[in-house]
Amino acid sequence: MTDSEEVTGHQDSFVRLPDELPLENSPPEMTPERLQQEIEKCKELCLAKAERDKLLQEKQKLEKELEELEERRVAWEEQAKAPPSLPDRKMLFKGHVTEAEDVNALVVAPRIQRALPGGSALLTFEEPEVAQRILEMKQHEVKLDESAGCEGRVRVQAEPVELLLPSALEIELKLSDRCILLSSLPRLDLSEEQLLDKLELFFSKAKNGGGEVEQRELLSDSGHVVLTFAQDGVAEQLMKKGRIQVPIGKRTYELKVTPYMSGQITDLQVRPSVCAKTVLLSGIPDILDEESMRDALEIHFQKPSRGGGEVDALGYVPVGGQGLAVFEEDTD
């Protein structure tokens, strides 16, 4: 091999590179057109971010509204399951007789209980127009009593009071063969157990027309007594007498003996109702004692210049407490 051949062979083993080779990660040349494209892209990103933030706020608002609706639904269901207007107790006939055409009618006077949380109050006005004005205003600034050592105003919110009222009711009545109802009981200085013991002792004796007493119960709502006998026929014989002389202590009293009828609710339908004269105030802060806050609320909502009027009733529960409001039928 000659020297020239050796040199040529070495040259064939090399690849000649171009003078300028662009780097892989080097940025492209920034032309005016490309700069405009980048600006437009940034605008689109900013708009997309603003739209996303807006949608996020709307989502949070809808979730809050949904949560409030769910709380109201649960509260309505709880009231529907156990309506406080119809307590779970035995029914009894108190002697009232009506015309024959009304024999299938039952008049129910609702008495509903509702929880009243701390930091809230119930205001009942004499006129429903006043309550409506207070509700339409929604937000109210109540001036505090300076004499109580606290100046300034507090803001409270007025809301309607919604209740579930019974609209239809079915009761299954049953006349007991072994029970009697004792009424016309005198007011005595005796405990419940002492009174029941004396009645059981008297009516358990055969010479008095009675028999073995299986159960006794004092009905707290009426003050009457129910006696249940162990044998058939005893209650029937006593009811035929109608009235019986019973010695209690040093005196003898004439008690009335009537049949005992128990009842069980078999069907109940309810309907929503809004209190026409009552409003709920919420968001009341804990900055005054209970009496001072009651006075401040009553004074504020009695002023016609603030949309108020004569207050018929006021119930207030301070922050940290809990009350039970009782609603009864308005007979006015």
pLDDT score at 45: 79
Query: Are 213 and 74 in the same domain?
Result: no
Q: pLDDT tens digits, residue range 119-136? A: 999 999 999 999 999 999
What amino acid occupies position 182? L
224: domain CATH number is 3.30.70.330
Task: With beta carbons less than 8 A apart as the criterion, state whether 120 and 284 touch.
Answer: yes
The confidence score (pLDDT) of residue 78 equals 53
Q: Domain containing 279: what range?
A: 106-168+269-328
For 190, counting Cβ atoms within 10 Å of its Cβ (0-12 exposed, 13-18 middle, 19+ buried), the class is middle
Q: Is there a single domain that holds both residue 215 and residue 139?
A: no
Whether 215 is covered by a domain: the verdict is yes
Tell me, yes or no, whether 61 lies in a domain: yes
Instruction: From 19, 46, 81, give the residue that closes a domain.
Output: 81
Cβ atoms within 10 Å of 1's Cβ, excluding its own: 7
Say if residue 210 is in the same domain as residue 262. yes
Domain boundary among 235, 266, 297: 266
Encode pLDDT of 244-255 as tens digits: 999 988 899 999
Q: What is the mean pLDDT of residues 296-306?
A: 90
Question: What would the two tokens of residue 18 be?
Answer: 């171009």
Percent with pLDDT over 90 in the chain: 30
Q: Same domain for 319 and 174?
A: no
Helix (H) or strand (E) holding 17: none
| Residue 223 included in any domain | yes
Residues 178 and 262 grouped into a single domain: yes
pLDDT at 175 (0 to 100): 83
Structure tokens at 248: 């209690």
Q: What is the pLDDT of residue 102?
A: 45
What is the tens place of the pLDDT at every residue in 132-179?
A: 999 999 999 888 765 555 567 889 999 998 888 877 778 888 888 899
Would 131 be classed as within a structural domain?
yes
pLDDT over threshold 50, residue 83: no
Q: Domain count for the chain, please give it.
A: 3
- Domain annotation covers residue 286: yes
Q: Please determine, for residue 4, whether its predicted confidence score (pLDDT) is greater than 50.
A: no
The pTM score is 0.47
* Residue 87's pLDDT band (cuts 50, 70, 90): very low
Are 184 and 244 part of one and the same domain?
yes
10 Å CB burial of residue 221 (0-12, 13-18, 19+) is exposed
- Residue 161 sits in the same domain as residue 273: yes
Residue pair 225/182 in contact by the 8 Å Cβ criterion: yes
Residues 183 and 250 in one domain: yes
Measured CA to CA, the distance from residue 176 to residue 260 in angstroms comes to 6
Judgement on whether residues 157 and 174 belong to the same structural domain of the protein: no
DSSP assignment string, 116-168 = EETTEEEEEESSHHHHHHHHHH-EEEEEP-GGGT--SEEEEEEEEEEEEEEEE
Give the C-alpha separation, 273 to 165, whole Å: 7
Residues whose CB falls within 8 Å of the CB of residue 183, separated by 6 or more in sequence, listed in order: 222, 224, 255, 256, 258
Q: Mean pLDDT for the chain?
A: 79
Same domain flag for 175 and 228: yes
Question: Is the pLDDT score of 90 beyond 60?
Answer: no
- Is 297:123 a contact under the CB 8 Å cutoff? yes
The tokens describing 331, both together, are 């007979």
Question: What would the pLDDT profile of 11-58 be if each residue is shown by its tens digit?
Answer: 455 555 555 545 455 555 668 777 777 788 887 878 888 888 888 888
Give the span between the Cα atoms of 208 and 252, in whole angstroms: 14
How far apart are the C-alpha atoms of 255 and 225, rounded to whole Å?
10
Residue 1 lies in a domain: no
Q: What is the pLDDT of residue 77?
A: 58
Residue range 252-275: mean pLDDT, rounded: 86
Tens-digit pLDDT profile for residues 268-281: 888 888 888 999 99
CB within 8 Å of 38: residues ≥ 6 apart? none
- Who has greater pLDDT, 249 or 198? 198
* pLDDT of 159: 92
Residues 158 and 287 in one domain: yes
- For residue 6, tell me if it sits in a domain: no
Residue 203 lies in a domain: yes
Domain boundary among 248, 266, 284: 266
Question: How far is C-alpha 327 from the geometric centre of its chain's CA atoms?
Answer: 12
pLDDT of residue 327: 83
Do 196 and 54 lie in a common domain? no
Q: Whose CA is closest to 246, among 231, 235, 256?
A: 256
Query: Which band of pLDDT confidence, cut at 50, 70 and 90, is reported for residue 81?
Result: very low
